[in-house]
Amino acid sequence: MQIKKIIPVVLLLCIPIAYFAYERGIFLPRWVEWHATDFRENIDHDETEERIVLKNRTLWIDEERMSEEGWLVSDVQIADIDRDDTKEILLLVWNQNAYGKYHPFWVEEKKNTFYQHLYIFSYANDKLKPFWMSSALHPNIKIMTIDNGILFIEDPDGEKSQWAWNEWGIERIDETNIPY
């Protein structure tokens, strides 16, 4: 086969491969830290511990897939973010929705763009229940840790900040006087 005939075939084969790679976040920023974890914790206050697994950018609890199709989960944390003695599940997620199901009609979302989100869920009856869902994060979160209900965040530029639950959502507390 002549080389001129081979090149278009190779290019055609590259398109689905590139799309497959794109859908799996191959082209997301290099600073993203993709965590993997496997631990047990009682997150719903019953008699047994749940097994929480983050593997291949997918969250599983007790062998059931919890993260939706199209979500790329980079980190999972369990914490009582609103201090009501019930634990929540915090996920750092990349997906192609800037706003999720309830995006404002006057804002046009860019197609084929990945956005980072912080999603918080409660867990009961073997299911995740949305507790608080961010729109596209700006700036992004590179590192997220939680201590005693306070969220410690580092962005890709190394800027550090502290956040906490304040009745209606997550609010920055290292620049305000919220009494935590």
* Rg of the chain over all Cα atoms, to the nearest angstrom: 19
Which segments within 42-172 are labelled E, that is strand?
50-55, 58-61, 64-65, 72-79, 88-95, 115-124, 127-133, 143-147, 150-154, 160-165, 170-172
The owner of tokens 């007790």 is 62
CB-wise, 72 or 164, nearer to Ca ion?
164
Residue count of the chain: 180
Query: Which one, 44 or 154, has the nearer CB to Ca ion?
Result: 44
Nearer to Ca ion, 75 or 82 (CB): 82
The Cα 85–Cα 27 span in angstroms is: 39
Binding-site ranges for Ca ion (CB under 5 A) = 42, 44, 46, 48, 80, 82, 84, 86
From the CB of 63, what's the least distance to Ca ion, in Å?
14
- To Ca ion, the closest distance from the beta carbon of 35 in angstroms equals 22
Distance in Å, CB of 21 to Ca ion, minimum: 37
Of 87 and 103, which CB lies nearer to Ca ion in the complex structure? Answer: 87
Give the shortest CB-85-to-Ca ion separation in angstroms: 7
